Amino acid sequence: MTPFEKLFGKTAQLSVLEYLINNKGETTYLSGIAEGTGLSHSSVARVIEPLLENKMIIEKKLGKQIRTFTLDEENEITKLVMKFYYELNNKMGDSK
């Protein structure tokens, strides 16, 4: 259980956010996030919307149906969340 999960519980949205933070700088697909988090494709599609609305992730479309996602490390909200995430892991230790 990660420090984020210890404090906030294990939710789909938190799992997706944590996955994206741990894979920052990488572009991924919904199916890649689903595989990496153990969530269903539909769960990832549902919980990724608030992250898109708050511009914490960047979405690019390839063709009509393929969507890619990258953590927006320049977004101020993302910066705050990442700082908190790393400091929390440092203080509590990551016991995955």
CATH class assigned to 3-90: mainly alpha
CB-based contacts of 87, cutoff 8 Å, min separation 6:
none
pLDDT of res. 94: 53
What mean pLDDT comes out for the span 8-31?
Answer: 93
Each domain of the chain, given as residue ranges in start order, spans: 3-90
The kind and range of the H/E element at 58 are strand 57-62
Phi, psi of 72, deg, nearest 5:
-90, 95
Model pTM above 0.95: no
Please determine, for residue 96, whether its predicted confidence score (pLDDT) is greater than 70. Answer: no
- Give the lowest-confidence range in 23-27, 45-49, 61-65: 61-65
pLDDT of res. 95: 47
**With the C-alpha atoms ordered 72, 74, 77, 83, is the resulting torsion angle positive or negative?**
positive
CB-based contacts of 94, cutoff 8 Å, min separation 6:
2, 3
8 A C-beta contact, residue 37 and residue 44: yes
